[in-house]
Amino acid sequence: MTMRTGRSAEGPRRRDMPARMSRRSFVRIAAAGLAVGFGGVAGTGGRARAAGARGGELFYGLTNKFDTLDPNVTTFSDVARMAYHIFDPLVWESKAGTFVPGLAERWEVNPDATQYTFHLRRDVKFHDGTPFTAEAVKFTFDRIVDPNLKSQSAFSAIGPYDSSTVVDPYTVVVKFKDPYAPFLSSVAQSLLAPVSPDAVKKYGKDFGTHPVGTGPFKFDSYTTDSAVRMVRNPDYRWAPSIFKNRGPAYLDAITYRIIPESSTRLAALKSGEVQVIQDVPTQEYQNVQRDPSLQLLQGLMTGSGWTMMINVTKPPTDDVHVRQALQWGIDKTAMIKAVWQGVFKPASSILTASTFGYDPATRNVYRYDPKQAGAVLDEAGWKMGSAGVRQKGGQDLALDLYYRADNSDFTAMATFLQSMYAQSGIKINLHGLSQGGYFSAVRVGQHNLQFWWEPDTDPDVVRILLYSKNADGGTNRNRYKNAEMDKLIDQAAATTDLAKRKQLYSQIQMKTLRESVMVGFADPLNLFAYQKNRVDGVVLDWSAANVFFHGASLKKG
């Protein structure tokens, strides 16, 4: 689950104004007007509405079982969404490139973006009653880069982190080994939100089932693979200016119910079992739009959409010809029609078209051409066998696709690809596993192929997907290690020149395509819905990745 923005033409400037911050001016273009920002959604939003009715418990339909509730460890965007309510980030990104105070009242960035100084609020306490101080920031960031934690997404988001220095109880200086302009967008994510040092020490490895933050809701309970419940923090007084309600939440509690099956999740919304859901099933997209009792919230996703990671270290996908055949051999339009009812758009890159730095020229690199797929495989010695499966040296061209069987989209994608690639003589062995079995397999590289998507507000999302340090069990499950790619990623994150940054991300995208490290399938919409006559004050963020309940309330009746 991220975002960064655009700099001024003069290059980086030292800023310490608390109201707006466009510090790393790398503009992330959001949702082409579809994503509604913090100002309000369909008349329910943050600034425009009167104070909400107090009390009641909101029930939310969550899609996925997840790994942990520890924001510094998780790889799940679902956890990141929940975490915004248990934890607070140091800053908030109110729209592309504009930052407002969170737990930090103000900040300065040195000219080369290697040092960030945060001046913290003095009135904040963690849910366990301990004070929030600079030591907690240092503790959190040091914890993320500790190899023993095995951090995933947060480790990628923190970039070339070096160290943090506590100047005084409410001032911390964060240093990087190399220039890291995207850091404000990264630190606006819940993944880098400060955690309670005392709680981490108390619970140890169990912190992920006992999360303690500073947010508007306190963790109450977790029923494994079933529900997460959080209750109002009555002492909360430090919500950001993007929300009208700056104090305690109106709701008494929120329960996130895990409902993996999309039709069941929608049925729960219609029946009132839950009042809000995510991932509205695309086959019901038009019906939800027409339903007068429901409000659909939608926006084009920034970051990386529905893609397939290719393990470049495991035969036969260690052969670039095989990987390129996977590009030529996929009819993305047919896949989107079959899996997502034509609601999404075909992808041409690892970056979605709404993300800053996306290169339209990527559309010209591959197209659906099964004859070309066959020619590439023929050239590499993979000849069609009598059974319709290509062979080389007596071995079938068979690829192991691992996916989570509890996700209907993954299952539909897998069965479609199996049929599609068979037309090119590529055999796809399907391995639909439970969550635990899936992670055990892909984190050690048993797969040739696995699915991925990564909401992010900055093109530095490529660090998560392609950076060498994130291979070998991290988020780079392509297991791709390339010094030239690492250099390009570092240069793109370091530069303050928008045109140069865009050029670097073009090189990254083209290199990824030439080497066929990943296959992009679809640029998706993020789709949420809620009961219009039951819920008020739901806010969809500008990147369309998160819904917030800081000012939400339940209507009477």
Sketch out the chain's domains with CATH numbers.
Answer: 1-34+66-216 (3.90.76.10), 303-523 (3.10.105.10)
Percent of the chain scored above 70 by pLDDT?
Answer: 90
Give residue 51's pLDDT.
53
pLDDT tens-digit readout, 203-258: 999 999 999 999 999 999 999 999 999 999 999 999 999 999 999 999 999 999 99
Measured distance CA(6)–CA(20) in Å, rounded: 13
Higher-scoring residue by pLDDT: 543, 172: 172
Q: What is the pLDDT of residues 210-222, one digit of tens each?
A: 999 999 999 999 9
Taking residues 106-121, report their average pLDDT. Answer: 96
| Confidence band of 52 (pLDDT split at 50, 70, 90) | low
Are 62 and 278 in contact by the 8 Å Cβ rule? The answer is yes
Q: Shortest CA distance to 179 belongs to which of 353, 378, 373, 11? A: 11
Whole-angstrom CA distances from 260 to 85, 235, 277 are: 22, 34, 11
Query: Whose CA is closest to 417, among 330, 477, 315, 350?
Result: 330
Q: How many CB atoms lie within 10 A of CB 446?
A: 15
Q: What is the pTM of this model?
A: 0.84
CB atoms under 10 Å from CB of 519, counted, come to 24
User: What is the distance in angstroms between the CA of the first residue and the CA of the last residue of the chain?
Assistant: 35
- Quote the tokens at residue 83: 């975490």
Q: Are strands 398-404 and 427-433 parallel, antiparallel or unpaired?
A: parallel
The alpha carbon of residue 165 and the mean position of all alpha carbons in its chain are separated, in whole angstroms, by 29
> What pLDDT does residue 28 have?
32
Question: Stretch 154-182: mean pLDDT, rounded?
Answer: 96
Does 416 have pLDDT greater than 50? yes
